[in-house]
Amino acid sequence: MLGALIIVFREAIEAGLIIGIVLAVTRGVAGSRGFVAAGVGVGALGAIVVAAFADRLSQAFAGSGQELFNASILAIAVVMLVWHNIWMAQHGRELAQNLSDVGRAVARGDETLFALTAVVGLAVLREGAEVALFLYGILASGESGWDVFAGGLAGLALGALTSVATFYGLVAIPPRRLFAVTTWLITLLAAGLAAQCVAFLQQAGFVTALSDTAWDSSWILSDKSIVGRVLHTLIGYADQPSAMQVAVYLATLVVIVAATKFFAARPPSASVGAPAE
C-alpha cells in the first residue's frame, strides 16, 4: 500500500505543482477556479481515454507513438506558457502594483486564462495517464487488490495537497513580488518542459545529435526522489541530462526572456498606424 502511495504521489507531484502555480497566477481573476477545475476534469478524462488506448498509442508511428504523444503535449504546454508570459509583459504597463489589478488585466485577456487552463489540462493528462494505467493494471491483475488501490488514491490526495500547498506558498508572497516570482516560475517551468520534450524526441530517434550525458549529479540529488521531482518540475532539474537537453533548456530561457523584453517595450494598444480619433 505504501509503495502504491509513493508511486502515484510521485506522478501526481508534477501536475499538482503546475495546478498550484496556475491558481496563484490567476488568483483574483473572476471564474479562474472554474477554469482550472475544468482543466483538471478534462485532463483526467483524457488520461483515462489515453490509458484505455495505451496499446494502440504505443504501436502508432512505428512504435514511437507514446514518445511523440508526450513530446507534442509538452511542446503545446511550452507554447501556451510562452504566450502567457509575453501577454503579461505586454500588459505590464496596465498592471498596477496590487494583485487585483493583475487579476483584472488577466481577466481582460481571457485568452491567456484559456492558455493556462490548457497547461493544467495537459499536465493532468500526461501524469494522469500514467497513474490511470498503474491503478488499472493493479486492479486488472487482482494482485494485492484494494489495498494497493487505496494506496493509489491516498497518493492522488497527496498530489492534490501539493497543489494547495504550492498555491498558499505562493500566495504568502507579497502581491508585488508575486507577479515577478510567477513570471520567473513560468519561464523556468517552460524551459524544463521544453527539455523534457526534446528527451522524448531523442528517445523516439527523431533527434540524434548531442546525445551524450552532460553531467551526472544523481549521487547528490536523484531526480526520482521527492525533492528531485519537485525541482524537476519547477526549474527543470535533471540528474543526467543529455547535452541536447541542456542546449534546449538554455535556448528556451533565452528566447522567453528576449521575447518578454521585446514585447514589454512595445505597448500593445499603440497598434501600427492607429488613426487619430
Partner 1 sequence: MASVMGISAAAAAENAFTLTIKDHRFEPAELRVPANQPATLTVKNLDATPEEFESKSLRIEKVIPGNSEATFTLRPLKAGRYKFEGEFHDNTAKGEVIAE
Provide the binding-site residues for partner 1, judged by CB under 8 A: 3, 7, 54-55, 58-59, 63, 66-67, 130, 133-134, 136-138, 140-141, 143, 199, 202-203, 205, 208, 211-213, 216, 218, 223-224, 239-240, 242
* Residues 195-224 close enough to bind Cu ion by CB under 5 A: none
* C-alpha 99, offset from chain centre: 23
CB of 19 vs partner 1, minimal distance in Å: 22
CB under 5 to 8 A by kind: which of partner 1, Cu ion, none does 205 bind? partner 1
| Cβ closest to partner 1, residue 213 vs residue 269 | 213
Restricting to residues 6-45, name those near Cu ion by CB under 5 A.
Answer: 11
Q: Answer positive or negative: Cα dihedral of 19, 25, 26, 28.
A: positive
Contact (CB, 8 A) for 155 and 5:
yes
Given the complex with partner 1, which of 210 and 253 has the nearer CB atom?
Answer: 210
144 touches which of Cu ion, partner 1, none (CB within 5 to 8 A by kind)? none
Piece of 3-11, 33-41, 58-66, 190-198 that binds Cu ion (CB under 5 A): 3-11
Pick from partner 1, Cu ion, none: which does 225 bind, CB < 5 to 8 A by kind?
none
| Min separation Cβ 199 and Cu ion, Å | 12
Gap between the Cα atoms of 117 and 25, Å rounded: 11
Q: How far apart are CA 49 and CA 16, in angstroms?
A: 20
Crossing angle for the helix pair 2-25 and 110-141, nearest 10 degrees?
170
Using CA atoms, how far apart are residues 130 and 224, in angstroms rounded to an integer?
A: 15
Nearer to partner 1 (CB atom), residue 111 or residue 143? 143
C-alpha cell at 191: 524551459
Give least dist CB 72 to partner 1, A: 16
**What is the C-alpha separation between 76 and 263, in angstroms, rounded?**
21
Bridge partners (DSSP) of residue 242 are: 213
What is the C-alpha separation between 18 and 145, in angstroms, rounded? 31
Q: Which is nearer to Cu ion, 88 or 129 (CB)?
A: 129
Contact yes or no for 161/20 (Cβ under 8 A): no
Give least dist CB 254 to partner 1, A: 24
Residue numbers at the binding site for Cu ion (CB under 5 A): 11
